[in-house]
């Protein structure tokens, strides 16, 4: 249990209370304004002391969004992390209703704000924070609000993220396994940092209240079942699940069991910090001929199997800021000089595995150098790409079962894709 809060306050940048909702009557708006104004005067950056403060028997927890501070005040020993998370959920709900959350939108829609705060919290305890569910009985049209007197099914259901009675003509599930590779290589070719951030992104268009079970090539599970794991399993680290996943079931037998929300959501995210072999390797040689000319020779090599192909490859090569009159030749794709980025941008639409491509560029430099001319930048080579039907981690969806009491059949679609995240290779 997060613990109850006494009141919730929405403040402007000067600490003045715009809107407040008192749930327990033991913390006043005057107390909060006095506390907040004192801290604003004491420190220009309010969050330098952290988002949690204690004064005169009251715990204050706050976050900032644009020109608004959202603050929860409590006299109880509450779970601060849960209440800070709740404040972020309040921001998400307000943005769903008002497009943008700022002082003006609060003043224009204060009636709706009070209705939302009443539904999202009861006697200081967080309740419903799903915007889709709240939208079913708190409806807005410009400055007018219509309230359905009958609460939605989800309010009386244990599954707060999904309403009963959902119907789709075609029952379909799309599961995208997306991995972003973050990589940093120094000028000596040594790998300084590598990690993979992955997500299982699901789009569920299913009728009723379906039970879904997902199986992965999880090493812990396969070993527990006595199955061979060599080359076929992965160690999942830093896993985070959507709230619909039954965590107790996963801890018990590693089964991912859930009733999905309707529409798009991230079922699971994970991170692998194991060393990753660079998928696209770029070597660059830069030769300066006095101060009049620069020659660049670049070799790009794909270091994955031939059956895979990288698409939409973009390699950004830094050049001197005063370079001019470029002459660029490539063995594949095309390259352009982008003076606004001080770079040559090399684009290759399709880059099969185990291939090498070359780029050669020549630039003229001004013969006269000003004393104010800044030194050459030490920007890295940046690479972007996508590799469909491929994952770095080797994660695989072994099965995705969908069971619903009406007995309909739903065919799941699973896709894999690897993308470049912060992918940089230093020249110097």
Which tokens in the block code for residue 230?
Answer: 């060599």
Last residue of a domain, one of 156, 189, 216: 156
Which tokens in the block code for residue 7?
Answer: 């009141």
| 92 in the same domain as 68 | yes
pTM over 0.75: no
Please, which pLDDT band fits residue 81 given cuts at 50, 70 and 90? confident
| 302 in the same domain as 271 | no
Higher pLDDT, 69 or 377: 69
Q: Averaged over 156-178, what is the pLDDT? A: 84
* Closest of 179, 174, 177 to residue 203, by C-alpha: 174
Q: Does a structural domain hold residue 265?
A: yes
pLDDT of residue 14: 76
Q: Does a structural domain hold residue 166?
A: no
110-120 and 80-98 helices cross at what angle (nearest 10)? Answer: 140
| 309 in the same domain as 284 | yes
Average of per-residue pLDDT values in the chain:
82
Q: Does a structural domain hold residue 110?
A: yes
CATH code of the domain in which 212 resides: 2.60.40.1170
What is the tally of structural domains in the chain? 3
Beta-bridge partners for 302: 280
| 85 in the same domain as 12 | yes
| 234 in the same domain as 298 | no
Is the pLDDT at 267 greater than 90? The verdict is yes
| 150 in the same domain as 55 | yes
- Host domain of residue 106: 7-156
Is the pLDDT at 154 greater than 50? The verdict is no
Higher pLDDT, 333 or 255: 333
Higher pLDDT, 284 or 16: 284
Q: Which residue has the tokens 């941008």?
A: 345
Higher pLDDT, 135 or 241: 241
Last residue of a domain, one of 121, 156, 191: 156
Residue 200 φ/ψ, nearest 5 degrees:
-100, 105
Positive or negative CA dihedral for 240, 243, 248, 253? negative
Is the pLDDT at 151 greater than 50? The verdict is no
Q: Does a structural domain hold residue 189?
A: yes
Last residue of a domain, one of 156, 181, 216: 156
Which tokens in the block code for residue 357?
Answer: 């491509």
SS3 of 140-185: the string is EECCEEEECCCCCHHHHCCCCCCCCCCCCCCCEEEEEEEEEEEEEE
CATH code of the domain in which 116 resides: 3.30.450.60
C-alpha–C-alpha distance, residues 241 and 245, integer Å: 6
Q: Does a structural domain hold residue 428?
A: no
Residues shown for the chain: 428
Look up residue 238 and give its DSSP letter: S
Among 26-35, 137-146, 328-337, 372-381, top mean pLDDT goes to 328-337
pLDDT of residue 40: 66
Please, which pLDDT band fits residue 15 given cuts at 50, 70 and 90? confident
Among 44-48, 192-196, 234-238, 309-313, top mean pLDDT goes to 309-313
Strands 172-185 and 411-425: parallel
Q: Does a structural domain hold residue 377?
A: yes
Residue 417 φ/ψ, nearest 5 degrees:
-155, 140
Please, which pLDDT band fits residue 428 given cuts at 50, 70 and 90? low
C-alpha–C-alpha distance, residues 150 and 310, integer Å: 52
């Amino acid at each position: 249990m997060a613990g109850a809060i006494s009141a919730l306050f929405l403040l402007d940048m000067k600490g003045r209370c715009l809107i407040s909702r008192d749930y327990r009557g033991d913390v006043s708006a005057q107390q909060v304004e006095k506390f907040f104004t004192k801290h604003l005067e004491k420190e220009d950056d309010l969050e330098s002391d952290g988002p949690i403060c204690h004064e005169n028997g009251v715990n204050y927890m706050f976050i900032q969004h644009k020109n608004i501070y959202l603050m929860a005040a409590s006299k109880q020993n509450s779970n601060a992390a849960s209440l800070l998370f709740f404040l972020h959920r309040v921001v998400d709900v307000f943005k769903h209703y008002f497009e943008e959350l700022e002082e003006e939108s609060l003043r224009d829609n204060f009636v709706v704000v009070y209705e939302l705060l009443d539904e999202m919290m009861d006697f200081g305890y967080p309740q419903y924070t799903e915007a889709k569910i709240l939208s079913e009985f708190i409806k807005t049209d410009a400055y007018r609000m219509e309230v359905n007197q009958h609460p939605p099914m989800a309010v009386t259901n244990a599954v707060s993220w999904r309403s009963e009675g959902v119907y789709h003509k075609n029952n379909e599930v799309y599961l995208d396994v997306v991995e972003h590779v973050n990589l940093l290589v120094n000028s000596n070719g040594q790998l300084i940092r590598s990690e993979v951030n992955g997500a299982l992104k699901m789009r569920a268009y299913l009728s009723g209240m379906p039970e879904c079970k997902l199986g992965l090539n999880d090493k812990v599970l396969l070993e527990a079942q006595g199955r061979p794991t060599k080359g076929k399993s992965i160690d999942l680290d830093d896993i985070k699940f959507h709230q619909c996943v039954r965590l107790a079931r996963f801890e018990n037998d590693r089964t991912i069991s859930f009733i999905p929300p309707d529409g798009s959501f991230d079922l699971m995210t994970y991170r692998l910090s194991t060393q990753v072999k660079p998928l696209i390797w770029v070597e660059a040689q830069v030769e300066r001929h006095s101060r009049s000319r620069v020659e660049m020779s670049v070799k790009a090599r794909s270091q994955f199997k031939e059956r895979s192909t990288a698409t939409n490859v973009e390699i950004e090569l830094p050049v001197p800021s005063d370079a001019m009159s470029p002459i660029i030749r490539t063995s594949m794709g095309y390259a352009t000089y982008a003076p606004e980025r001080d770079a040559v941008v090399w684009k290759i639409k399709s880059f099969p595995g185990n291939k090498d491509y070359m780029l050669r560029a020549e630039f003229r430099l001004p013969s006269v150098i000003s004393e104010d001319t800044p030194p050459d930048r030490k920007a890295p080579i940046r690479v972007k790409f996508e590799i469909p039907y491929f994952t770095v981690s080797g994660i695989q969806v072994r099965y995705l079962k969908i069971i619903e009491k009406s007995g309909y059949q739903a065919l799941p679609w699973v896709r894999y894709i690897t993308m470049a995240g912060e992918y940089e290779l230093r020249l110097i």
